[in-house]
Structure 1
Amino acid sequence: MKQDLARNATYTVDCEDNVHVVEFNPFDSGEVGSLLAYGGINYVVIASCRFQEEDTSVEGIEFKIIKTFHHGERVVAIAWSPETRCDALQPLLRFATAGGDKKIRIFTSDFQDKNEYKVIEGHSSYINDLVFCSLEGIEIASVGDDHTCRVWDHDGNQIAMFSLRSPGMSVAWHPEDTFKIMVAEKTGTIRFYDLATHQAILSLESVQMPLMSADWCLRNTLRIGAVAGNEWVIWEMPHSSYPQDSKPAHADRARMFRWSKCSENLFATTGYPGKMKSQLSIHHLAHPQPILIGTTPVGSGLSWHRRLPLCAVGGYRKLFFWLTEM
């Protein structure tokens, strides 16, 4: 008998509006529980969440909104700064967003009354992804439909620009390989750039197209994953520039790929909405089939918890959380 892999979300949280982007804080910022950012049409919400799997005093999920920031534009992407600290003498909250107006905004807060943001302009078309790319949180890399990857300093000055051959879909930075960034292009090429010399140093190629999303594995710096066409694709550097493994992920095109933060073999993919629903699939490299399948009403965004095998997806006025096994 075939095992039924379809599951409802383990936890859900109601939101006032549709959620387009969701990002767990990937850094240890001294918080109790985890910080989560999610964005919609013109706002960003910062929340704290704790789960019973990490704290036995919690029943299910404990979710608390800390701050809401007016954004003015649709939120396309959110990146957490490693500078964020909750347990410092002077607490600091810092994150960046990409907006539908082709601008980057850096938000800074003391978690209380001091709130400010800086606008960075330079991309000539839509920005698809961005990331803080230094341990000090003083540099940001962004990619967009203008066929560029741009690196900015904390004051908004452009310090590097890499010309791409197609739209930049994803950009990633690894805290254990701090002088490189990974840039994924829609035509299936993934390149690594040296942030010191501003030179391309390695490239990977996908057979499938279009490549819509890629991620650099936190637990294994040699492992890269992506979705291209309707497949997930895995590279094991430096064996070959071509994938070591790939499998169909969704019936139609796949949309997002994210590695788990706590396992080098666990990852999630999402598909494009069909019949007003989006599919989430959670995969393990030791299993030939997905280990969990979930659906959300017009789901958007995908992010893994820093310590738990739990991922979040945004949806229609809701956040959905799926817990799986390692």
Structure 2
Amino acid sequence: MDEAVTTPPTFKRSFSERIYCVEFSPYEWSQHLICIALAKEIVVGTVRFQDEDDAVEDMAYSPIRTFHHDARPHAIAWSPETSLSIVPKIVTFCIAGSDFKIRLYNSNLNDVNMFEILEGHKDYMNAISYEPEGELLASVSDDHTCKLWAVKENQKCVSTFYLTSPGTSVCWHNEESGKLLVAEKNGLIRMYNVRSHQAIMSLDSGVVPLTAADWGPNPLKVASIAAGELLLWDVSRPSRPLDERTLHVEGGLTVKISHANENLVSSIGWPDNLLKVVNLKSKVVVLCGKVKLIGGMTWHYKLPYVCAGSDRELCFWRINVN
């Protein structure tokens, strides 16, 4: 695909302020929920597409609740406890802020709206992630640590892993309890057993800076972006990447594997804030979009939509996979 040819979003929604991050809920039972973080407000809403609901014309976005936030948001994580199909409803998520604090929000969308503050990091956090059981939250920071928080008990930090450089990404194994992936800016990606505190595997990209990594629906596949290069790993053969390709000649910022299709990987990088989606099977860039100011990137749980914040707009691209 010609780099200069960019595809406009399939759908867009405008907001009154700049969007800093966005996250679809990554769980089947709450897949319609989206969290949009503005400078001082967190908006939780639902998104439905015509692909799944014929009553919807194109796309329907409905805000549900707005929460106040005291600092510029850096990252969002949805709790697996979130569900609108039970009574009372539960909406639970965390926001990592520029004041080095994590705020844990709990709401029943009625009379209960609480938040707790998790403190302990000494520098900016780059990523946060709930374990699939919802008991622990992991966070990584520029302070060279990965911390685990007991979000259901006392919101205290229960464990700290000391890193060799700033932590850029953190993800949990979606099938095996207690396995955690931590990516560092110096190119190292380590898997830890959080129960034994042991590193069980490490991958070395050999390229710096490593700005992001992701663990997809297939736990054998890890994708990372380092200095604009997309690296794909098979963790059963960790000695070297399966595939390497330069996607962003001036560097990449973020990378995400689609929840619905393990062969689709999206990234955003420079120049021009280009959002690219690569089909790993055909090894082709199947979409090249563009955002104004980078405000996060997220995949829908089930449908082939990637969403990105673009200054004051939320942009959705539908990926056509043959």
Task: Provide closer, same or farther for how the CA distance between residues 95 and 238 of structure 1 changes in structure 2, counting only shifts above 3 A.
Answer: same
Q: Which moved more, 1:287-296 or 1:145-154?
A: 287-296
Mapped partners of 1:296, 1:259: distance in 2: 19
Contact 1:5 1:291 in 2 (8 A): no
Whether 1:157 and 2:156 are equivalent positions in the alignment is yes
Gaps of 5+ in 2: none
Contact 1:5 1:292 in 2 (8 A): no
For 1:64-103, list aligned pairs within 5 A.
64-103=62-101
2:149 match: secondary structure: strand
Q: CA deviation at 1:209?
A: 0.8
Q: CA deviation at 1:199?
A: 1.2
Aligned-residue RMSD, C-alpha: 1.5
Gaps of 5+ in 1: none
Deviations 1:148-193 (A, max 9, x none): 0010101221111110000000000132122101000000000011
Mapped partners of 1:39, 1:280: distance in 2: 19
Whether 1:313 and 2:312 are equivalent positions in the alignment is no
For 1:108-127, list aligned pairs within 5 A.
108-127=106-125
Corresponding residue for 1:204? 203
Task: Provide closer, same or farther for how the CA distance between residues 14 and 198 of structure 1 changes in structure 2, counting only shifts above 3 A.
Answer: same
Mapped partners of 2:300, 2:69: distance in 1: 24
Deviations 1:253-309 (A, max 9, x none): 00100000111111100014x5xx521001001233311100111122010000111
Task: Provide closer, same or farther for how the CA distance between residues 312 and 216 of structure 1 changes in structure 2, counting only shifts above 3 A.
Answer: same
TM-score, normalized by length of structure 1? 0.94
Corresponding residue for 1:301? 296
Contact 1:187 1:209 in 2 (8 A): yes
Mapped partners of 1:80, 1:293: distance in 2: 28
Corresponding residue for 2:145? 148
2:291 match: secondary structure: strand
Contact 2:26 2:301 in 1 (8 A): yes
Mapped partners of 1:177, 1:20: distance in 2: 31
Contact 2:174 2:219 in 1 (8 A): no
Q: CA deviation at 1:141?
A: 0.6
Counterpart of 2:139, as a letter, is S
Correspondence for 2:276 among 278, 281, 287: 281
Deviations 1:59-100 (A, max 9, x none): 111010001110010010000000011111221100001000
Contact 1:129 1:144 in 2 (8 A): yes
Corresponding residue for 1:268? 266
Identity %: 35
TM-score, normalized by length of structure 2? 0.96
Contact 1:177 1:221 in 2 (8 A): no
Counterpart of 1:153, as a letter, is A
Counterpart of 2:137, as a letter, is I
For 1:171-190, list aligned pairs within 5 A.
171-190=170-189
